[in-house]
């Protein structure tokens, strides 16, 4: 999906058992132009379904409105019963900034949604979180207190006049809460015990604890305990309002600790809806450090986190369908058309009658290959019984080479883009606007290859150590890697210096020239050192 601003909407509907209604709401979202439905997560015990879809601000509001209208027609709250707190057919409808969108954008989405729904179907709408300005009705639990059953009386109190729509009770619908918030992770830990035991753990870990005088251990965490009939086990059901402070793995470990103290078994955990990749990688890094593992490949880190947290214990956790970064990732053919080409295709376009891609893009490729060969030498050493004593050394050397290799790949396209931007600036009418655009584009055309040089230069120290300790059977691979690294740096250096000639900023020229010269000198010396080390090794 290629949109300038991407907003996520995660509406929770009070229906988790009637598949025809669940499907009808899904269809109303799918049929909205500009909306992409990512996930539908129904729960029978909770009698609630969480939908996750994304789109630009206008489309996301249209999708939410269409879904709410469908719920208004099909859901009858007078007959609704379920484990989860609720006050309306569309119970809560948060908008979340995902990419190139601000919290203010999402507040505007919530207000537009509330205004339209109140006008089009005549139901009360409350604002919460960032969209609300009143402290006593800012949190969802404050607004939803009393739930659907207490809503009729609540609406008679002027303090609880809705932000949009009439202050009247609509029995078949109830009321909706909408607002803007940061990414929330709905997370459940499975307990082989009773609802009461799960709730006891929830009281221990949730921020509110048991009372103001007895707060819980984890910040930005809301939680209750319940029993899920279809799973035949209890759950500590939680919302993680700030996963950067309180991530899933921390919650899992704390709940597991309390369960052990109660002599209860823990049978994995469950993420409801989608989860940011960052939260999964944080869990992986925690267990890697805890267990002294050596894993740097992202897919393997994801797999480790899934296994350690038991995320497939209730249903299969497919990272391609449950991690939002993977779901909304733009097609590499759009964002990195050169890097996503076949090697044959890239070489052919490199040799075609076009000025770009040129030497800068080729230099990024060559430098990335050099770093990759250095990492490969490490992998040819790590984990082999013959070199077991070197495992700790390889754990130190492989990650920076692997990272440099991956960091250099985007510069294949960045260099070509910088050249194209400079050509566009040259095509503007002569005048101050053109001069400013050309200066900006020229500096970008210098900074991109300079960045290639900087990233590649980070490889020299681990490459030199690799020459000392790496598997000697990979000697020629490391030699080619070192020469490729030096060649990539030299090629990027030539792009820097040729563009500096046209730069009219003397201070920038002076500082950039000094930096580039230092990098190229270090590359020359480092290559020489690596080749000498390898030539003199006897093992």
* pLDDT tens by residue, 354-372: 888 999 999 999 999 999 9
- CA distances (Å), origin 270, targets 129, 243, 299: 25, 15, 19
Find the mean pLDDT for residues 86-110: 94
Q: Is the Cβ–Cβ distance between 530 and 481 less than 8 Å?
A: no
What integer pLDDT is reported at residue 1 of this predicted model?
36
Q: Is the Cβ–Cβ distance between 248 and 271 less than 8 Å?
A: yes
* pLDDT tens by residue, 452-499: 999 999 999 999 999 999 999 999 999 999 999 999 999 999 999 999
Q: What are the structure tokens assigned to 17, written together?
A: 């058992």
* Residue 416 burial (C-beta neighbours within 10 Å; 0-12, 13-18, 19+): buried
What integer pLDDT is reported at residue 538 of this predicted model?
82
CATH 3.20.20.120 assigned to domain 6-180? The reply is no
Find the mean pLDDT for residues 416-428: 89
What integer pLDDT is reported at residue 536 of this predicted model?
94
Checking if the pLDDT of 221 tops 80, the result is yes
Q: How far apart are CA 36 and CA 326, in angstroms?
A: 13
What integer pLDDT is reported at residue 330 of this predicted model?
58
CATH 3.30.70.670 assigned to domain 185-327? The reply is yes
Angle at 99 between CA 95 and CA 103, to 5 degrees: 45
What integer pLDDT is reported at residue 3 of this predicted model?
42
Of 188, 185, 187, nearest in space to 276 by CA: 185
Higher pLDDT among residues 453 and 332, named by residue: 453
What integer pLDDT is reported at residue 2 of this predicted model?
37
Reported confidence tier of residue 333, pLDDT bands at 50, 70, 90 = low
* pLDDT tens by residue, 155-196: 999 999 999 999 999 999 999 999 999 889 999 999 999 999
Provide, rounded to the nearest whole percent, the portion of the chain with pLDDT above 70: 98
Q: How far apart are CA 138 and CA 506, in angstroms?
A: 54
* pLDDT tens by residue, 35-49: 999 989 998 888 999
- 3-state DSSP helix/strand/coil % of the chain, to nearest 5: 55, 15, 30
Find the mean pLDDT for residues 382-394: 95
* pLDDT tens by residue, 289-318: 999 999 999 999 999 999 999 999 999 999
Is the pTM of the predicted complex or chain greater than 0.95?
no
Checking if the pLDDT of 539 tops 80, the result is no
Checking if the pLDDT of 241 tops 60, the result is yes
What integer pLDDT is reported at residue 354 of this predicted model?
87
Reported confidence tier of residue 211, pLDDT bands at 50, 70, 90 = confident
Reported confidence tier of residue 336, pLDDT bands at 50, 70, 90 = confident
Active site residues: 84, 415
What integer pLDDT is reported at residue 108 of this predicted model?
96
* pLDDT tens by residue, 338-352: 888 999 999 999 999
> Given CA atoms 130, 132, 134, 139 in this order, what sign does their dihedral have?
negative
Q: What are the structure tokens assigned to 247, written together?
A: 């991530």
Q: What is the mean pLDDT of the chain?
A: 94
Structural domain boundaries of the chain? 6-180, 185-327, 332-536
What is 332-536's CATH number?
Answer: 1.20.120.680
Half-sphere exposure of 336 (CA within 13 A, CB side): 14
With b meaning 16 or more CB within 10 Å and e meaning fewer, what string describes 61-95? bbbbbbbbbbbbebbebeebebbbbbbbbbbbbbb
Reported confidence tier of residue 94, pLDDT bands at 50, 70, 90 = very high
Q: What are the structure tokens assigned to 171, written together?
A: 């029995």
- CA distances (Å), origin 73, targets 69, 90, 111, 121, 173: 6, 11, 22, 10, 9
- CA distances (Å), origin 188, targets 256, 261, 290, 341: 12, 19, 23, 41
């Amino acid at each position: 999906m290629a949109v300038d601003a991407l907003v996520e909407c995660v509406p929770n509907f009070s229906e988790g058992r009637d598949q025809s209604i669940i499907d009808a709401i899904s269809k109303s979202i799918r049929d909205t132009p500009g909306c992409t439905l990512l996930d539908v997560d129904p729960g029978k015990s909770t009698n609630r379904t969480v939908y996750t879809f994304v789109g630009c601000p206008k489309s996301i509001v249209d999708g939410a409105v269409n879904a709410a209208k469908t719920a208004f027609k099909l859901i009858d709250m007078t007959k609704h019963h379920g484990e989860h707190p609720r006050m309306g057919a569309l119970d809560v409808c948060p908008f979340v900034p995902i990419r190139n969108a601000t919290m203010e954008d999402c507040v505007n989405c919530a207000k537009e949604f509330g205004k339209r729904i109140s006008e089009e179907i005549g139901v009360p709408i409350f604002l919460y979180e960032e969209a609300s300005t009143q402290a006593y009705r800012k949190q969802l639990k404050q607004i939803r207190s009393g739930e659907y059953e207490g809503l009729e009386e609540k609406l008679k109190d002027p303090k609880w006049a809705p932000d949009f729509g009439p202050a009247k009770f609509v029995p078949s619908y109830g009321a909706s809460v909408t607002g803007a918030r940061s990414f929330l992770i709905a997370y459940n830990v499975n307990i082989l015990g009773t609802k009461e035991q799960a709730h006891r753990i929830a009281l221990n870990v949730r921020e509110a604890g048991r009372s103001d005088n007895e707060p819980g251990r984890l910040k930005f965490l809301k939680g209750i305990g319940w029993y899920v009939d279809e799973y035949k086990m209890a759950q500590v059901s939680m919302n993680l309002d700030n996963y950067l402070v309180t991530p899933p793995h921390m919650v899992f470990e704390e709940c597991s600790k309390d369960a052990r103290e109660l002599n209860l078994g823990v049978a994995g955990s469950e993420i409801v809806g989608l989860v940011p990749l960052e939260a999964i990688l944080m869990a992986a890094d925690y267990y890697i450090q805890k267990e002294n593992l050596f894993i740097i490949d992202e897919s393997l880190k994801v797999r480790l986190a899934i296994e350690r947290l038991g995320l497939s214990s209730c249903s299969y956790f497919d990272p391609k369908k449950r991690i939002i970064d993977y779901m909304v990732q733009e097609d590499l053919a759009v964002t990195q058309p050169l890097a996503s080409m076949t090697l044959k295709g890239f070489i052919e376009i490199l040799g075609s009658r076009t000025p770009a891609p040129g030497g800068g893009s080729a230099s990024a490729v060559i430098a990335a290959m050099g770093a990759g060969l250095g990492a490969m030498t490490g992998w040819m050493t790590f984990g082999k019984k013959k070199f077991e004593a070197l495992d700790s050394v390889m754990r130190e050397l492989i990650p920076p080479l692997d990272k440099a290799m991956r960091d250099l790949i985007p510069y294949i396209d960045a260099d070509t883009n910088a050249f194209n931007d400079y050509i566009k600036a040259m095509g503007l009418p002569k005048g101050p606007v053109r001069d400013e655009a050309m200066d900006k584009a020229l500096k970008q055309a210098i900074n991109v290859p300079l960045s290639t040089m900087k990233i590649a230069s980070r490889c020299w120290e681990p490459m030199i150590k690799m020459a000392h300790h790496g598997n000697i059977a990979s000697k020629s691979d490391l030699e080619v890697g070192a020469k490729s690294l030096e060649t990539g740096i030299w090629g990027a250096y030539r792009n820097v210096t040729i563009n500096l000639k046209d730069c009219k900023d003397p201070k920038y020229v002076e500082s950039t020239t000094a930096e580039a010269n230092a990098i190229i000198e270090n590359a020359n010396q480092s290559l020489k050192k690596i080749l000498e080390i390898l030539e003199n090794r006897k093992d």
